[in-house]
Structure 1
Amino acid sequence: MRGEKHDRNLSFPASFGGRGYAPLESRVRIVGGGLTGILAAFQAHCMGARDIELYERLDRLGGIAQPDIVDGREMREGCIYFGPEGDPIRTLLEEHGAEFADFENRFGSVSTGADGLTYLDDFGGPSLPAKDIALTAPEGETLGDRLASYSGEIAEPLERYVRWHTGCEADDLHESAALPMAINRVFPAGAPLETLAEAKRSDDLANEVFGIPRKLWGYTSNARASLPVGGFDRLFAQCREALAKIGVRVHDSHFATAKRMLGEECAQDIVVWAASPIPLFKPLGIAAPRGPVRKFATYTFSAHWSGPVPFYVQNFTARGSVFRVYVYKSAGSVLLTAECVEKCDEAALKREIHTLLEGFDGALSIGPQLHQSFKPRWLFHSLGTITRLKELRDALAAHRGNRFVTGAWETYAKGEKFVEVQNDLQNALLAPVAVNAP
């Protein structure tokens, strides 16, 4: 996925079962059948657990990564990639029968430049006509604090973009919201390239908040990515078969309630809560966080595109409705998905898509609309949400010790989620049973 690193090594201590070691006796209950829950089941089995149950409230696995199917084609509502060969998530899925195909990872961005729109190849963040790259250390943990570390000629357009994209002020959001909005790194196009490159080499903060287009920087770690052969629907069907093969009991259309998972029935078990954390707050006597949750409109069209496929473009102009256009293939057809901050008239939407893609190599024609949705997405954490999630983690630790594993709720990048759940599972499987039911 955009912005992730793929060089983490997947390893398990010799004290664990799996891969030749004796099985462990702990029962593992996993709530949530999305990618995090599926991977947790494979991870637990790899560590030696053999009594594993997975609960999914829908009638299929995959969570938000599972697309709707229209005439045999996948209506993808987001741009989800896996790493190239050797990526730990991909490796684990391949060990259980999944197949992946590498591709050249191409993307771009559209920003407001000094003389109109700026189209930038191989850079997924905003490009601003800024010369001043002086930075000050952030004073707090809000996104506003992070943006305030830039000079005003960078901070002000980013603040406008945040309001357009989320409907919130940057001061109301946690700094982690920068990554799902793809504003974690900015290219100040007016600064001398060598000055910017030296700042990134010599200063950790500059390296974190500034970016340079791949071709100008010689950056190659994200030059290749992969997608599941046959699409996501086939991937999750393969995962279901693999889970059954290793003895994981999958319960479809099943509401595994927080009350049950926190009660005496599961007191001796390891629980991995890979679903939304909201149901856990009330049983523990903690007020649930509110927002920011915004509904986004997604439209999918058939298309003809002579440029690279897959390909995505981010819109940082803070104008129009579309924040991302994604072109991909499914079942032999080229499809185009536009993700929007609001519902949009089809004619206006098609004009905007053409504008966003016209600065890149490729000729576009847009065919009939195939699918649309209007759904809330929990992407942007407020500072209050982060505080409440910490309270929830502390309460869970008090009742279950290490044996209640949270689903890396605060983390956006799936690679980091994978590592966090892996480490917490290791601790849980080694922990003695000492629990207090709420």
Structure 2
Amino acid sequence: MTPPETTATDGEVEHQHAIKESADLLRFATAGSVDDGKSTLIGRLLLDSKAIFEDQLESVESTSKSRGYDYTDLALLTDGLRSEREQGITIDVAYRYFATPNRKFIIADTPGHVQYTRNMVTGASTADLGLVLVDARQGLTEQSRRHAVILSLLRVPHLVLAVNKMDLVDFSEDVYNRIHKEFTSFATKLSIPDLEIIPISALLGDNVVTRSEKMPWYSGPTLMHHLEHVHVASDRDLVDVRFPVQYVIRPKSDEFHDYRGYGGQVAGGVLKPGDEVVVLPSGMTSKIAKIDLFDKEIGEAFPPMSVTVHLEDDVDVSRGDMIARVNNAPKPSQDIDAMVCWMTNEPLRPRQKLAIKHTTRTGRAMVKDVQYRLDVNSLHRDQETKELGLNEIGRVQLRTTMPLLCDPYSKNRTTGSFILIDEATGVTVGAGMINSGT
């Protein structure tokens, strides 16, 4: 007897499509010292992946000629601020988007100067992969190490060290091996789950998109091949359900007068209709009735999908609440132990009062103590310093006026992070990564 033909349900099709969409997007941030060629490399990736309009390329070629260059300055494709073009450096974080047949990409081109470390933290905070460039002539610099440490602190799961400007050292295998050995030794002190070291020439395109014939001694992947195939789908937490409620959706239309949903982005775990859940901080329990994605119902939701969740019971849910599994919920915490990157000129000091934003929840916090300042070059913990200056990173104890529904940053980068805000000006002054909460 022939078994009946089986077909995938709509929910299964949506699930597979969502997984593919999630895996097909890679966010990566470039980092490194000044003049290591970050902007040029991104320009090369954009050019060789055919993501540049002809008029853009003509403008860059014309500008390059007017400056007397005998080559096309691809850095002009990303350095958008006038001051960046004048100085030939990156100051702000420049975001660029491009795609290949295999994957879509969002690039954060971060600045290399020490005084713009805060911008680098901003660009790398949401990255799946960190791309650190070093000049083959200079080798590892203080800023190269600094950025590798920051990427490690931010728990960026994949790291690529691109040894750039190989054309200026005659594509020397010895130079590459020396930098490879030095960085590999340094990386053992850091938390870097996945490391790839690739020799390239961003200006000429060697090993960027196409394999270089000038470096036959290198047998690894090209940069583009690695970016297209690095596996990121398993980097997200699919066990611990975390759904911060961003908005209560109640349409005013007569057609949807019974519609009540809770919109937000899934921060962890897998949500399915029928799951028993708890709403925090109230502790009220219910079951998921259905999940909407835009205008259609889906069978499950997982990070980083933005969906609308409906509950079977009319429980009180508002912005800032979190939906989690009954037996696997975050513990509300008011005493927070965290690593903080300080982003303003006025130092962070004990007894200071600030606003804090964690997921969709906003409250107030007081600095209880600055335990130490971390020297990101030597990883030395300076316990004598009791304040953090601009661009410095340290371990800080906070007391919040309202409980935060948080996880350790090492477990969940969304529920384990927060920003600190100056209440008088509304300016973001710090970014934090939670170690623990009580």
Q: TM-score, normalised by structure 2?
A: 0.24
More helix by share: 1
RCO higher in structure (CA 8 A, sep ≥6): 1
Larger radius of gyration: 2
More strand by share: 2
